[in-house]
Structure 1
Amino acid sequence: PTFLMANVEVVATYELYNINRSKLENLIHRIFEPARLEIEIMDRFGRPVVPREWFLVPLFVINDAVEKIRDGTITGYHYDPRAAGLKRISGEMPQ
């Protein structure tokens, strides 16, 4: 279950090695910030919660992002919701 105790359907899993998990989480939040779902929901105690971890991103874009994380080029990209894809940041060259 998620932090709100809801069931989830796992649609993909990935293995990454030698990566700092908290830095990876921050990177994912930064890359996909434009697709963050802006929603307030009630937790099981009736308190409002605004999830930070919910993004509206197609699975193929997540696959692309994981490949860029693996090859070290992800920092040169950002997510463009209108194009539904990763776009190179102007002036940035992939490493």
Structure 2
Amino acid sequence: MYIRVKRNKTTYFVQCDPSETTLNIKQKLHSLIDQSPNNQRLTLVATNDILDDSKTLADLKVENDAIVALTLRKDENEFEEVYIARPEDFTSFS
């Protein structure tokens, strides 16, 4: 299976298995974005649930082709807001 990990205007297609944990996914992302797993937070967009590092994708009911939002840690231990650009943000109708 794969999941779509989105942040701002970027989408990462991550191949994974339902038995993998959220931490495994963060480790895969680490090689792509150069941010350690502790500085990443993954949120399942459909339910707005923050994914627990120790739970598997199956436990968290993350399905094939799920959209997961990636946010990064800012200063003072806070995470940035979820922001995923949508195509309509880039089109204007007058």
Which of the pair has the greater relative contact order for Cα pairs under 8 Å at 6+ separation? 2
Please state which structure has a larger fraction of its residues in strand: 2
- Tell me if TM exceeds 0.5: no
TM-score (norm 1): 0.29
Q: Which of the pair is proportionally richer in helix?
A: 1
Rg larger for:
1
